């Protein structure tokens, strides 16, 4: 990671670790080791320590006595709350975004859906999660609401780590990509409400499986 200025370095380190949390690079309960992260990011330990404390203050990580900074585990009630907020926020962003997408962005969504299908066939969790995140971001960014996107990304921080465990049931992936196909069909019809329903179905399908991985 190359940059100039300590403030910029700290910000970039924070943004990278935050993005890793959102896409499920770390698992629930995992301890984040400052030295290992610093080596991976090619920075000193100071910006990593600062980023972890910042994320802990935001609730994305937690300080555990005699253990350090870890990724939180979700209870089912916490997960249910997160899912309900995702349905509200992401459904709204999807419906707004559907009305503003450019032709290039529509083409990108089609390509991303195809990449997810390939990832499902190859049981490639990372490729699926990367393409899935990009699919949602393209659609939501088209909503034209930076605040709405910021709220969504805050919620993603809470659910990202557990999403990595979707690999436990490839059938769930297939259901999710069926929902993406539903989104694309609705876009073709210029049906913004249908796009919202497709995104809600996507979140609901994943949620039913991920809920079972949470503590009672």
CATH class of 76-211: mainly alpha
Which of the following CATH numbers is that of domain 6-70: 3.40.50.1820, 3.90.1150.10, 1.10.10.10, 3.40.50.450? 1.10.10.10
pLDDT tens-digit profile of 84-116?
A: 999 999 999 999 999 999 999 999 999 999 999
d(CA 157, CA 162): 10
Asked whether the CA dihedral 102, 105, 111, 112 is positive or negative, the reply is negative
Query: Residue ranges per domain, the chain?
Result: 6-70, 76-211
Report pLDDT for 82.
94
> Which parts of the chain are beta strand (E)?
62-64, 68-70
Reported as a pLDDT band with limits 50, 70 and 90, residue 170 is low
Q: Which of 25, 23, 17, 70 is nearest to 48 (CA)?
A: 17
Query: Which residues lie closer than 8 Å to 52 by C-beta, 6 or more apart?
Result: 17, 32, 34, 37, 61, 69
> Token digits for 142?
């088209």
The whole-number average pLDDT for the span 146-155 is 94
Summarize the confidence of residues 154-170 as an average pLDDT.
Answer: 82
Q: Is 190 exposed, middle or buried (0-12, 13-18, 19+ CB in 10 A)?
A: exposed
């Amino acid at each position: 990671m190359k940059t100039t200025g300590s403030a910029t370095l700290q910000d970039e380190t924070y943004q990278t670790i935050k993005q890793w949390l959102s896409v499920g690079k770390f698992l629930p309960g995992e301890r984040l080791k400052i030295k290992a992260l610093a080596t991976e990011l090619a920075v000193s330990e100071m910006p990593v320590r600062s980023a972890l404390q910042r994320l802990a203050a935001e609730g994305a990580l937690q300080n555990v006595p005699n253990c350090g900074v870890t990724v939180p585990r979700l209870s089912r009630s916490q997960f249910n709350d997160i899912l309900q907020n995702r349905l509200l926020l992401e459904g709204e962003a999807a419906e707004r975004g559907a009305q503003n997408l450019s032709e290039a962005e529509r083409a990108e969504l089609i390509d991303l859906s195809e990449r997810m299908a390939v990832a499902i066939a190859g049981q490639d969790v990372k490729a699926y999660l990367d393409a899935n995140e990009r699919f949602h971001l393209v659609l939501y960014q088209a909503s034209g609401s930076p605040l709405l996107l910021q709220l969504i990304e805050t919620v993603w921080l809470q659910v990202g780590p557990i999403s990595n465990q979707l690999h436990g049931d490839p059938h769930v992936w297939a259901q999710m990509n069926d929902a993406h196909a539903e989104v694309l069909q609705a876009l073709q019809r210029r049906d913004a409400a249908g796009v919202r329903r497709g995104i809600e179905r996507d979140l609901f399908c994943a949620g039913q499986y991920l809920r079972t991985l949470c503590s009672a």
